[in-house]
Amino acid sequence: MGVESLTEESRKRYRAENAWFPIGYAAQLDHAAESFGDKLALDDGVEHYTYSQVVDRTRAIAHGLRELGVGAGDVVAVQSPSRAWLPLMHLACNRIGAVYLPLSDSWRHTETEHLLRLSEAVVVCVPPDTEAFSHREMLDEIRHRLPRLRVVISLGGGDAPTLEELAASPTTLLGVPADPEQWSFCMVTSGTTALPKITKWTDVGLNSLLLAGFGPRIRLSPDDTALALAPANTGATGYVFPIMAPLLIGATSVIMPKWSPDDAVRLLGSSGATFATAIPTQMVQLLGLPGLNRDMVPKLTRFNNGGAPLAADAAAQIEDRLGCRVHSMYGATDGGVPVMTDVDDPDEVRLSTVGRLVPGMLIRILDPMGADQKPGEPGEIVYQGLQHTFGYLNEPDRDEEMFSDGWYHSGDVAVVDEVGYVRIVGRIKEMILRGGQNISPREIEDAIARHPGVAQVAVVGIPDPVMGERVCAFVVPHSVGEAPTLESIKEQMLGMRLAKWKLPERLEVIDRLPMSAGGKVVKSELKALIDTKDRWGK
């Protein structure tokens, strides 16, 4: 069996754990607007919306989508930077039963075409052109290979129909809102495959994550102002926690469109943020600012960390310099978030673990033979529950690959103590986690292998104090005297229109790759080679 399905028995369990909220996202926003109509709901530094304005605008967009022929189950993709466009389009889709698919604006031809084709999206919204890049021109180049794509909408002007024109429609709704038990929201995740996967989420699953887990553990209330520092445009850490969660309960969400450490500190202060969500790379970069102190962020009380592990000493420095408490989570875009800390946990627990089980979820720690480990013994952490993906969109084989009898196999090694707190101690998978972004070594290897000077290649992640990991490519050249340079490899990959953050940042030219008896590259030896070379300068 693959992904767990919703049964009456599972519903009873979720109700007993107070993790069952069978209401749609847009309907919850409407309820919040009844009490907080004139309150600021969304602010991205360019556009500002009260709760009443969010209701009116998303109803208008929903009607406009229906006028374009978008119906229940149709996929609407939104490729955007971190802006208010993301939740507005999500809510509009939810009102008519359409499926919302956010796409990073950093993805280029290769990733965008793959995801639009895989999702069978009928509409895609793109940001305004800049001097650096035109998403509209990119779509013009790939559109002939996307037979299901009917409409391209510009989020900010240009030749294509605009969001403003779409939102000028009357507010009379057509269509039926999304069923909260049926998938209507996508998050995009990179796995061990060469290109990203699309995970399918339900509103009841997201409600469990945000209202039964995250909200109580971070003490979220309508009095909060949340700041989204992490990227919001894949639907994961930087979206669900600092944007979706506040809008469900009547709090305010402030969105940072473009990251810089200096601007982030200024916005933390000027917005009056009471909690913020970031990835560890961003937190480490904040610590590099001279003079960083509590006076710069006078109202910040909680700093939510997600997307990757945060070192305990970095968490302690954040708390000491900013006078707030760090809140950490563990999970995956497709597996959900089974454990998280509580802001009132003791310092040792809060800074050195990823917390304990949340309502609606179950975890197990398995040895290599699949048997349960005892407390204190390491093993692969697997988990199941309401708040996980209900399958990979149009890739059913992935369900069987990642789920077994409803249990998600994380590939991470963990230890659980006697009282249930979890520590992550390693990874079984080879995925490179750079600045909160998953990078597939195989994808990078396939790209580098196309370089004319490369005979063999293996890619590994090497530790980095800021980014978590960086991409290192080991290359065996065709000719010893004509080894490729790092710049020529990057140029090759950019020519393939891959995202810049996937490019290797270190090149090691070697005579041969270490191979096992079975003919596989032994990447642990490559990592050891880097460690030795860096330590001794050889």
pLDDT per residue as tens digits for the range 61-75: 999 999 999 999 999
Q: Give the phi and the psi of residue 224 in degrees, each rounded to 5.
A: -80, 150
Q: Which residue has the tokens 């995202």?
A: 499
Q: What is the 3-state secondary structure (H, E, C) of 274-298?
A: CEEEECHHHHHHHHCCCCCCHHHCC
Q: Is 479 exposed, middle or buried (0-12, 13-18, 19+ CB in 10 A)?
A: exposed
Report the DSSP pairing between strands 75-80 and 99-104.
parallel
Tokens at 277, concatenated:
């969500």
Q: Residue 411: its pLDDT value, please? A: 87
CA 328, distance to chain mean position in Å, is 15
Query: How far apart (Å, rounded) are the C-alpha atoms in residues 150 and 20?
Result: 37
pLDDT in tens, 305-342: 987 778 788 899 999 999 999 999 999 888 899 999 99
Query: How far apart (Å, rounded) are the C-alpha atoms in residues 536 and 229?
Result: 38
The alpha helices in 379-481, defined as continuous H runs, are: 396-402, 441-448
Residue by residue, pLDDT tens for the chain (538 residues) are 467 678 888 899 999 999 999 999 999 999 999 999 999 999 999 999 999 999 999 999 999 999 999 999 999 999 999 999 999 999 999 999 999 999 999 999 999 999 999 999 999 999 999 889 999 999 999 999 999 999 999 998 666 678 888 888 777 766 789 999 999 999 998 644 457 899 999 999 999 999 999 999 999 999 999 999 999 998 999 999 999 999 999 999 999 999 999 999 999 999 999 999 998 888 988 988 989 999 999 999 999 998 777 878 889 999 999 999 999 999 988 889 999 999 999 999 999 899 999 999 999 999 989 999 999 999 999 999 998 888 899 998 888 888 998 899 998 889 999 999 999 887 776 778 888 887 878 788 888 988 989 888 889 999 999 999 999 999 989 877 788 999 999 999 999 999 999 999 999 999 888 875 445 678 888 988 987 777 655 5
Query: How far apart (Å, rounded) are the C-alpha atoms in residues 148 and 117?
Result: 8
Q: Residue 496: its pLDDT value, please? A: 92
The alpha helices in 413-516, defined as continuous H runs, are: 441-448, 486-495
Q: Residue 387: its pLDDT value, please? A: 86
Query: How far apart (Å, rounded) are the C-alpha atoms in residues 376 and 455?
Result: 45
DSSP string, 357-399: EPTTEEEEEE-TTSPBPPTT--EEEEEEESSS-S-BTT-HHHH
Query: How far apart (Å, rounded) are the C-alpha atoms in residues 216 and 224?
Result: 13
Query: How far apart (Å, rounded) are the C-alpha atoms in residues 282 and 303?
Result: 12
Tell me the β-bridge partners of 361: 385
Evaluate whether 62 touches 184 at the Cβ level (below 8 Å): no
Report the DSSP pairing between strands 407-416 and 422-427.
antiparallel
Query: How far apart (Å, rounded) are the C-alpha atoms in residues 280 and 275?
Result: 15
516 half-sphere exposure, CB direction, 13 A CA radius: 7
Q: What is the 3-state secondary structure (H, E, C) of 110-176?
A: HHHHHHHHHHCCCEEEECCCCCCCCHHHHHHHHHHHCCCCCEEEECCCCCCCEHHHHHCCCCCCCCC
Query: How far apart (Å, rounded) are the C-alpha atoms in residues 286 and 297?
Result: 12
Q: Which residue has the tokens 């802006």?
A: 83
Q: Residue 173: its pLDDT value, please? A: 65
**Selection from 481, 469, 487, 451 nearest residue 530 by Cα:** 469
**Selection from 47, 82, 332 nearest residue 232 by Cα:** 82
Evaluate whether 174 touches 63 at the Cβ level (below 8 Å): yes
Report the DSSP pairing between strands 123-126 and 75-80.
parallel
Residue 184's SS3 state is strand
Residue 85's SS3 state is helix
